[in-house]
């Protein structure tokens, strides 16, 4: 007794019949298209995973470094001196008769101010923000002391 397999879907040939050249080419093209589709899916998935990884790394790095927006705004010290932080790492210390531009970085609760004018000492502060009150404790480059500044509108 001979065991015949049923033809696969799309195949209509009799047992023992060889495929014609056009049928073989059609099968090859079908397999080729299937492999191409699998490659596109694989590369598309890999690209999506890579994009997600890059976004996560950027967000982690941005969260750990350069968080300068915590101080964004204008802060008044004593009615005559104000600090203006732009939220992007630059600012100005303004006195009634002169102002000093600076760049700043924040690392955790440490504020480092680098003045453009070399006659002004760069300074480091430990800071906290509680509502509209900025408290800075003088560190390196300062005379020490605790300074309380009020956020201006």
Which residue pairs from 83-91 have beta carbons closer than 8 angstroms and sit at least 24 positions apart in sequence?
83/149
Q: What is the largest CA-CA distance in the chain?
A: 110
Is 73 in contact with 86 (CB distance < 8 Å)?
Answer: no
The reported pTM is 0.55
Residue pLDDT, tens place only, 3-17: 555 555 555 556 657
Residue pLDDT, tens place only, 22-81: 888 888 899 999 999 898 899 888 899 999 999 888 877 665 554 557 789 999 998 899
- pLDDT at res. 16: 59
User: Can you say whether the dihedral through the CA atoms of 139, 144, 146, 147 is positive or negative?
Assistant: negative
Is 93 in contact with 99 (CB distance < 8 Å)?
Answer: yes
């Amino acid at each position: 007794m001979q065991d015949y397999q049923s033809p696969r879907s799309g195949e209509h040939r009799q047992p023992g019949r060889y495929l014609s050249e056009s049928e073989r080419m059609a099968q090859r093209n079908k397999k080729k298209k299937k492999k191409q589709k699998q490659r596109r899916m694989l590369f598309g998935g890999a690209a999506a995973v890579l994009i997600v990884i890059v976004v996560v790394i950027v967000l982690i790095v941005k969260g750990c470094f350069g968080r300068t927006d915590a101080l964004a705004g204008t802060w008044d010290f004593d009615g005559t001196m104000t600090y203006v932080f732009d939220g992007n790492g630059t600012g100005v210390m303004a006195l009634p008769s002169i102002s000093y531009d600076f760049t700043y970085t924040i690392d955790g609760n440490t504020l480092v101010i680098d003045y453009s004018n070399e006659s002004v000492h760069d300074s480091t502060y430990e800071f906290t923000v509680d509502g509209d009150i900025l408290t800075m404790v003088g560190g390196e480059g300062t005379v020490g002391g605790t300074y309380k500044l009020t956020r201006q509108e």
